[in-house]
Structure 1
Amino acid sequence: MRQSYQTFLIREWQPSDRALAAEVIRSVLAEYGLEWEPGGADLDVLEIETYYWQTGGEFWVIEQQGTVVGTGAYYPIQRGQNAVEIRKMYLVPTARGQGLGRWLLQQLEAAIASRGFEQIWIETASVLQEAVKLYESSDYKPATGVETIRCDRVYMKNCGESKSQKAL
């Protein structure tokens, strides 16, 4: 995976990105008053190889002018039907408001669909209002069964499902 969007480069995570990706996520969580949980909900960021690579998932970083400004990832889960969970979709403030989040979500969805998965799940917190709006406007439907302590919302979408396809 190596793609560009405006002045951003989206590429596969490398071990040298470990601390940089963790710092992006920690700083965005702090911005919204959420706790960084290196021994819990954020352990996957510190152990990408175990949580993503060894399970058939992917973890991407977003760079702008050589600086890591965001992350996005998914891995298979034992929930729903042949499902994955999109995780760690975070952008620093300077990377927001340019359509990058929506584009990143679409790229993740395309990668997931191309690998034959049927459902996409996402957990988030209501305080992350921009994320909630993005998921709801991208045809994710509220679901039940939040599994992450700091999250209070869970959404699900069937792969390939969009408003334009429903209209046909």
Structure 2
Amino acid sequence: MRATYKDFLIRNWEEGDRTPASEVIRSVLSEYGLGWEPNGADRDVLQVEECYLATGGEFWVIEHQNKIVGTAAYYPIHRGEKAVEIRKMYLLPSARGLGLGKYLLQKLEEAIASRGFQQIWIETASVLAEAVKLYESSGYKQPTGVETARCDRVYVKQL
């Protein structure tokens, strides 16, 4: 992946991104009163190669002026038919309100569809109001069965 949106660069994750990407996610979680879980829900950010790249997923970083300001990722899951889960879609406050989140979601959906997947799952927390609004306005439906402890909402979309 290599795309631009306004003056943001969206690109594939590289090994040197591990710490800055982790800091973005930790910062956004903290902003919303959610905990960083390096041995739990956030272990995948510290092990991108194993959790995403080796499983057929992708992990992207978003740069602005050579600084990582966001992340977006997905990997295949055993939930439904030919399914993936979108994960780690976080933007720092400076990158919000510009349509970048919606653009990222569209790019993720395109990449996922091009690989033959048919279902997208997303888990999130109600306190992430902007994310909830984005998913609901993008055609995601709310089934039941949240699997991540800090999340209280789950969404699914058929491609």
Q: What TM-score, normalized to structure 1?
A: 0.94
> What's the CA shift string for 1:118-146, capped at 9, x where partnerless?
00000000000000000000000001110
1-structure distance, mates of 2:154, 2:117: 18
**What is the root-mean-square deviation in Å for CA atoms of aligned residues?**
0.3
Secondary structure, aligned partner of 1:142: coil
What's 1:51 paired with?
51
Matches within 5 A, 1:87-102: 87-102=87-102
Deviation at 1:71, TM superposition (A): 0.2
SS at match of 1:79: coil
Partner of 1:25: helix, strand, or coil?
helix
Gaps of 5+ in 1: 160-168
Q: How many matched pairs? A: 159
Query: How far 1:27 sits from its partner (Å)?
Result: 0.2
Inter-partner Cα distance in structure 1 for 2:80 and 2:31: 32
Q: Which residue of 1 aligns with 2:140?
A: 140
Dislocated runs of 4+, deviation >4 Å = none
The SS at the match of 1:147 is: coil
* Equivalent position of 1:63 in the other structure: 63
CA distance in 1, matches of 2:92, 2:8: 13
Gaps of 5+ in 2: none
When normalised by structure 2's length, the TM-score is 1.00
Q: How far 1:39 moved relative to its partner?
A: 0.2
Q: Indicate the percent of aligned positions where both proteins have the same amino acid.
A: 72
The reply on whether 1:103 has 2:103 as its aligned counterpart is yes
Provide the C-alpha distance between the structure 2 equivalents of 1:144 and 1:109, rounded to a whole number of angstroms.
Answer: 22
Partner residue in 2 for 1:41: 41
